[in-house]
Structure 1
Amino acid sequence: MLCKRKGDEKMGILVKGKWQDKTLAALKNEGIKADGSFRNWVTPDGSAGPTGKGGFKAQKGRYQLYVSYACPWASRALIMWSLKGLQDYIGLSVTDPIKGDDGWKFSAGADPVLDARHIAGVYVKAKPDYTGVASVPVLWDKETNQIVNNESADIMRMLETAFDELTGDQVDYYPEALRPQIDELNAYLDKSLIGQLSKVSSAKTQTQATYETAVKNVFSVLDELESRLSKQKYLLTDDIPVESDWRLLPTLVRFDIVYYERDHCNLRRLVDYPHLWAYARRLYQTKTVAETVNFEQIKVHNYHPIIPLGPLENWQA
């Protein structure tokens, strides 16, 4: 999934390693096939993961994580990187919140590994003739000079366990006993909440009925989550959050400051849900998670050049 702001209809893509002001749909109409995602996995011993090839062993200092604070998908990976205490094990490169003419860009010196000026440069370094979207997050292998993975769900999951022997952090956010429920909940939230939020944004250029349907679908899910959280602290347990909780947090962080205002998804705010609001702040205040959230960059990305002052909400309360 992609990170878009108002007016981002022409996001731009790489075509045979060259940046072009086109969309994937336009590429498809021209009969040009985009490359697939990078789907290798870092594992404790370097063996192959669920997809891709092997050879990516968990080692201190070997990998670099490329993210944007503005992108909710990158935020998922960033949260897990922080939760699992990987700050001294995996380097971090953060893009500017405003995209340049060539997509996600870096300020000078922001990428100490490749000295890239754009995320597109990271993709071209990995595959000179790459065709497709230059998205974040990206997990880069400094040893072999290639992209390990650029799927947020994959990166989250490998960061959860691959480095445990090195860091000593054994907290399991994907416990075996709950895996079927976690997988089911992940799929449900991606389709019924996050997918519907995307429809709300696009529906504003279509019909009133389409917009209203999408908005009502979003709040139906939020109402359901509020009911669920009135009975327990987290989505699946009353003890500790699981992977599904952390995947949901970036959406909740952006709800009042982006979706409510920018997309007119405004039946209710997050703060109008007492249990959901308390839950979101509980996650935000866990360990170092708050350090992965940059409200100002989220607003700059979504509203530039006029940045709203509000809303005034206390996530630390």
Structure 2
Amino acid sequence: MSNENGVYSVPGTEFTRDTNYIQTRITADGRDGFPVEAGRYRLIAAKACPWANRTIIVRRLLGLEDAISLGMPGPTHDKDSWTFDLDPGGVDPVLGIERIQQAYLAYDPDYPRGITVPVIVDVTTGKVVTNDYAQITLDFSTEWTAYHREGAPDLYPEHLRAEMDPVMRRIYTEVNNGVYRCGFAGTQEAYDAAYARLWIALDWLSERLASQRYLMGESITEADVRLFTTLVRFDAVYHGHFKCNRSKLTEMPILWAYARDLFQTPGFGETVDFDQIKTHYYVVHRDLNPSGIVPVGPDLAGWTTAHGRESLGGRPFGDGTAPAPLP
């Protein structure tokens, strides 16, 4: 069992994920009591976590850094909570707390579910607003437009949503969550079924990306962000740790080139920390890795090599521009 973003696995059963998130939304009209307001909210997102990594990427692509502050827990957590062990004194400098659990308990002293990241906290009260990671990034695109940088890309184009939503749903069920279904399967039968579903989906994605640069065509969208955070962790942890080992990402020519293309695009690669990723999975998941030993490999130097995807054309940011380099 792990509390990483609501992960639950009981030996002898198929892996299931607790998806009962806090669904309060921060919106332009404030209909849930939380209006869009620069400086009021703090995003807590661990670089190690793929679900949190999405929010870091989208925040950067849209230029919301000045509107929404970012707190980063360390790569590991105990059974109760992620902790701010990367900050001086182990305390988040804005919220003044040592554990994300404190913000959840401020929201509900009897909060019954997993203490997950990403999460948005209302700085004025110290209480959690939402941990609904899938909605958070969509709201960054659609509700926070007043604070988007000039040239911010449209990551959730209205004219593509009817096609895009099913693509993202399949990426979630078969790939993002599919690797976890393999890793935390409680029986051989559950693992075999999860493994088959994962590779059917990866083959489908390879075919889709063979003739177009991005999942929805010529420009990056939210769908690419969601797939990227799984692909970038694939060889480092999922191939071995989660037994997703038909092929390494580096042995899948189309997906490997696609992932490198995104990694080298401003807003993506600089959000990735392979050391934190490996430390998280191999140290926290003691049910899968009792020793807590973090492997030295694999060699991850290839992420900056030429990918050749430019030959497919496309404009990564559509009518927009790349985010400015990090300071």
Q: TM-score, normalised by structure 2?
A: 0.80
Maintained 8 Å contact 1:94/1:110: no
Distance in 2, Cα, partners of 1:35 & 1:131 = 13
Post-superposition offset of 1:230? 0.8
Letter in 2 for 1:307: V
Between 132-141 and 160-169, report the one with greater CA deviation: 160-169
Structure 2 counterpart of 1:290:
269
Structure 2 counterpart of 1:151:
132
Between 217-226 and 186-195, report the one with greater CA deviation: 186-195
Maintained 8 Å contact 1:68/1:74: yes
Post-superposition offset of 1:151? 0.8
**Percent identity between the aligned chains?**
36
Letter in 1 for 2:49: C
Q: TM-score, normalised by structure 1?
A: 0.82
Structure 2 counterpart of 1:172:
154
1:217 is aligned to 2:201: no
Distance in 2, Cα, partners of 1:11 & 1:167 = 33
1:74 is aligned to 2:52: yes
Distance in 1, Cα, partners of 2:260 & 2:254 = 10
Structure 2 counterpart of 1:181:
163
- Measured at CA, do residues 214 and 118 of structure 1 come closer, stay the same or move farther in structure 2, by a change above 3 Å? same
Match of 1:299 among 278, 294, 301: 278
Map Cα deviations across residues 227-255 of structure 1 (whole Å, 9 max, x no partner).
11111001121x21111111111111111
Distance in 1, Cα, partners of 2:104 & 2:9 = 16
1:251 is aligned to 2:230: yes
Higher relative contact order (CA 8 A, sep 6+): 2
Secondary structure of 1:76's aligned partner: helix
Secondary structure of 2:304's aligned partner: coil
Structure 2 counterpart of 1:38:
22
- Measured at CA, do residues 235 and 109 of structure 1 come closer, stay the same or move farther in structure 2, by a change above 3 Å? same
Distance in 2, Cα, partners of 1:255 & 1:291 = 17
Maintained 8 Å contact 2:175/2:198: yes
Maintained 8 Å contact 1:66/1:136: yes
Structure 1 gap segments, 5+ residues each: 1-8, 14-22, 26-33
Maintained 8 Å contact 1:97/1:301: yes
Distance in 2, Cα, partners of 1:100 & 1:292 = 24
Secondary structure of 2:42's aligned partner: strand
User: What are the residue-to-residue correspondences of 1:109-148 with 2, within 5 Å?
Assistant: 109-148=90-129
Maintained 8 Å contact 2:63/2:149: no
Instruction: Work out the number of aligned pairs and report it.
Output: 284
- Measured at CA, do residues 12 and 214 of structure 1 come closer, stay the same or move farther in structure 2, by a change above 3 Å? closer
Distance in 1, Cα, partners of 2:2 & 2:209 = 39
Distance in 1, Cα, partners of 2:19 & 2:203 = 39
Distance in 2, Cα, partners of 1:164 & 1:57 = 13
